[in-house]
C-alpha cells in the first residue's frame, strides 16, 4: 500500500480530475460511500465541517446518514462564502432537505456547539484535510480544544484536524481521535510515533482512483502487506538438503551478554538456516555449546574464526559483543575479507561511530539494523530528529553507504536506497530485551536460504512482528524466546494461509 506525502496526495487528486476527467464531486461521493459502513451501528451523530473539501465530505456524509434515518446535527466553522464548488453543492443539497445547520464564528453559537458535543454520542471531524500547512488559531483552536474535552466517540475523516500530514506533528493543536478513516493511501506523517496519539485506529478506504494514477505520483514508499512478503518465503523442495539452506555464522556474545548470542543463533536455527555456527567469547563457549545443540559453537579468538569467514554464506555480527576496539577489529576483518551477505546489529553498529567510511571499502552486501539510539550514535542526529524524519534519513543513509538499512521501532522503516518499506506488524507486548537479537538471526537465516538482502530484511521484519502479534493474543508479554520457539509453527501457518 502506497504511503504519500501531502504534495503527492494533491497531485493524485489533480491528475484524477484534470487529466483523467474524474469529476471531483464523484470522488467526494465515493469517499462518503466508503465511510457509511463504519456508521452502521452508530447514531446521534454530530458532524463539524471546515471550509474546504474535507468539510464537503462532512456535508455529503450528513446527507447519506440522514437517508439512513440517523440522527445528525451539522456545524460549520465560519460562514459559507468562498467555499469550494463541491462544498457548496453539498451545502445546497442539505438546505433542500431542510437539515439544521449551525454556522459558528468567534462569538456566535459556540455555547450551542459546546452543549451539543457533550450530548452527542459520535463526533465526526471534517474541519481540515491533508492540505493544512499553518498553525491552528482563532475559532479553530477553540473548536479543537472543545472537541478534545468531549467524551463523545471521535472519528476523523482523512486526518485528525490540526495534524501535519507529512510530519505527524500537531500544528499547534490537533484532534485526538478514536478512529481515523483516510482515503486511498496512508499519509506519511501517520508513521511518526507522535501521530499515533491523535490517529487512534487507522482505516484506509479506497475511493476508486485507478492504480495507474497512483503509479504516476508514487514516491516508492510502501506499507508492507502480507501479499508483499508471503511469496518471499523460501521453498523447501523434497530433494533439498541442509546445504541448500545456507551456512550462517553468528558472531556474538561477551562476558556480560551471553543471552544475545544464544537468541540470535537459536533464531537462525529455528528460521530454517541449513547450518548455523556461533563464534563467541571463549569463556561462554562451554555453556552455549551445551544449550545450542543444533548449532556449532566456536571461539572468535581462534584461528578457525578466520577460516569460517570464507566458508560462510551469511555472517550476523554484533549482538552482545560489546562496544570495544576488539569488536571494531573483528568487523574490519570481516568487511575487508568477506564476500557474502553481512548483517550488522547492536555493538557492530556502535563501533561504526566515526568509522562509517569502512562501509565504502567492504566487499559484501550489508544489512544494518539499528534502533533510534544506535542510529543517533552513528549519524550524530538527535533521537527526536530521527523519529520525525525516519523515511528520509533511512533512504539517504542507505543510498550513501550502499547498505540495506532497517530502523527499528513501531512502523519499522527499511530501505535499499531506492524504495522504502514500512513494516506494520508488531506491538508493545514485544517490548522486551533480546527482540533485536532474535530479528537479526531470522534475517540472517532468510539470507542464507537464498533471499537477497532487501527481500530477507522485509520478510524477516514482517514475520518477527507477525509472530509477536499472534502470540500476544494469548500472552500479555511476549519475550524474545517465545518468538524463537514458535518460529517454525507460525512460519508454517503463514505459508499455509489461503492454500
Q: Which residues are annotated as a binding site for K(+)?
A: 54, 125, 161
Q: For residue 340, which phi and psi values (nearest 5 degrees)?
A: -95, -135
Q: Which three cell numbers stand for residue 387?
A: 523519529
Task: Report d(CA 263, CA 156) in Å as an integer.
Answer: 42
Known binding-site residues equal 53-57, 125, 129-135, 140, 158, 161, 260, 320, 371, 408-412, 436-437
Known binding-site residues for (6S)-NADPHX equal 53-57, 129-135, 140, 158, 260, 320, 371, 437
Task: Report d(CA 430, CA 479) in Å as an integer.
Answer: 6
Q: Which three cell numbers stand for residue 77?
A: 466553522
Known binding-site residues for AMP equal 408-412, 436
Task: Report d(CA 2, CA 18) in Å as an integer.
Answer: 22
Query: Residue with C-alpha cell 552482545?
Result: 320
Task: Report d(CA 444, CA 465) in Å as an integer.
Answer: 16
Task: Report d(CA 252, CA 179) in Å as an integer.
Answer: 43
Task: Report d(CA 182, CA 130) in Å as an integer.
Answer: 10
Task: Report d(CA 43, CA 467) in Å as an integer.
Answer: 37
CA dist list (Å): 277 to 282, 306, 342, 343: 14, 13, 14, 15
Strands, E assignment, 130-238: 153-157, 179-183, 186-187, 201-205, 221-223
- For residue 217, the tally of other CB atoms under 10 A from its CB is 21
Helix residue spans in 182-324 (DSSP H): 193-199, 211-217, 226-229, 258-270, 285-291, 303-311
Task: Report d(CA 443, CA 272) in Å as an integer.
Answer: 10
Task: Report d(CA 277, CA 312) in Å as an integer.
Answer: 9
Distinct helix (H) and strand (E) counts, the chain: 20, 19
Amino acid at each position: 500500500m502506497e504511503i504519500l506525502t501531502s504534495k503527492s496526495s494533491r497531485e493524485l487528486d489533480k491528475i484524477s480530475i484534470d487529466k483523467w476527467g474524474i469529476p471531483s464531486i464523484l470522488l467526494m461521493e465515493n469517499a462518503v460511500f466508503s465511510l457509511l459502513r463504519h456508521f452502521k451501528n452508530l447514531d446521534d451523530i454530530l458532524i463539524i465541517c471546515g471550509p474546504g473539501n474535507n468539510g464537503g465530505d462532512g456535508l455529503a456524509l450528513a446527507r447519506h446518514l440522514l437517508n439512513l434515518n440517523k440522527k445528525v446535527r451539522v456545524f460549520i466553522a465560519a460562514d459559507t462564502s468562498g467555499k469550494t464548488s463541491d462544498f457548496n453543492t453539498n451545502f445546497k443539497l442539505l438546505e433542500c432537505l431542510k437539515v439544521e445547520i449551525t454556522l459558528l464564528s468567534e462569538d456566535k453559537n459556540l455555547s450551542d456547539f459546546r452543549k451539543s458535543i457533550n450530548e452527542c454520542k459520535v463526533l465526526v471531524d471534517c474541519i481540515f484535510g491533508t492540505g493544512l500547512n499553518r498553525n491552528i488559531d482563532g475559532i479553530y483552536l477553540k473548536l479543537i480544544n472543545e472537541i478534545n474535552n468531549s467524551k463523545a466517540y471521535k472519528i476523523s475523516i482523512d486526518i485528525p484536524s490540526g495534524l501535519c500530514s507529512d510530519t505527524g506533528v500537531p500544528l499547534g493543536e490537533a484532534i485526538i481521535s478514536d478512529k481515523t478513516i483516510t482515503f486511498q493511501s496512508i499519509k506519511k506523517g501517520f508513521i511518526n510515533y507522535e501521530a499515533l496519539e491523535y490517529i487512534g485506529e487507522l482505516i484506509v478506504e479506497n475511493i476508486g482512483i485507478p492504480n495507474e494514477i497512483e503509479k504516476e505520483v508514487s514516491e516508492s514508499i510502501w506499507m508492507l502487506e502480507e501479499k508483499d512478503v508471503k511469496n518471499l518465503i523460501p521453498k523447501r523442495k523434497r530433494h533439498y538438503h541442509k546445504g541448500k539452506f545456507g551456512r550462517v555464522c553468528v558472531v556474538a556474545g561477551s562476558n556480560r551478554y551471553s543471552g544475545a548470542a544464544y537468541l540470535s543463533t537459536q533464531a537462525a536455527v529455528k528460521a530454517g538456516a541449513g547450518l548455523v555456527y556461533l563464534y563467541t567469547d571463549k569463556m561462554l563457549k562451554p555453556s552455549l555449546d551445551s544449550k545450542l545443540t543444533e548449532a556449532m559453537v566456536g571461539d572468535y579468538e581462534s584461528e578457525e574464526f578466520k577460516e569460517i569467514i570464507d566458508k560462510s554464506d551469511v555472517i550476523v555480527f554484533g549482538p552482545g559483543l560489546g562496544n570495544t576496539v576488539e569488536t571494531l577489529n573483528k568487523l574490519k576483518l570481516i568487511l575487508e575479507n568477506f564476500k557474502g551477505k553481512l548483517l550488522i546489529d547492536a555493538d557492530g553498529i556502535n563501533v561504526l561511530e566515526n568509522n562509517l567510511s569502512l562501509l565504502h571499502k567492504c566487499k559484501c552486501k550489508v544489512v544494518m539494523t539499528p534502533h533510534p539510539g544506535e542510529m543517533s550514535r552513528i549519524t550524530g542526529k538527535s533521537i527526536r530528529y530521527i523519529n520525525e524524519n525516519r523515511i528520509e534519513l533511512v533512504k539517504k543513509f542507505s543510498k550513501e553507504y550502499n547498505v540495506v538499512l532497517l530502523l527499528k521501532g513501531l512502523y519499522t522503516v527499511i530501505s535499499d536506497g531506492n524504495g522504502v518499506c514500512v513494516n506494520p506488524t508488531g506491538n508493545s507486548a514485544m517490548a522486551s530485551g533480546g527482540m533485536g537479537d532474535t530479528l537479526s538471526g531470522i534475517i540472517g537465516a532468510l539470507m542464507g536460504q537464498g533471499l537477497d538482502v532487501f527481500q530477507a530484511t522485509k520478510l524477516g521484519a514482517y514475520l518477527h512482528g507477525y509472530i509477536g502479534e499472534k502470540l500476544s493474543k494469548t500472552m500479555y508479554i511476549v519475550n524474545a524466546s517465545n518468538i524463537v520457539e514458535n518460529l517454525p509453527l507460525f512460519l508454517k501457518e503463514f505459508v499455509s494461509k489461503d492454500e
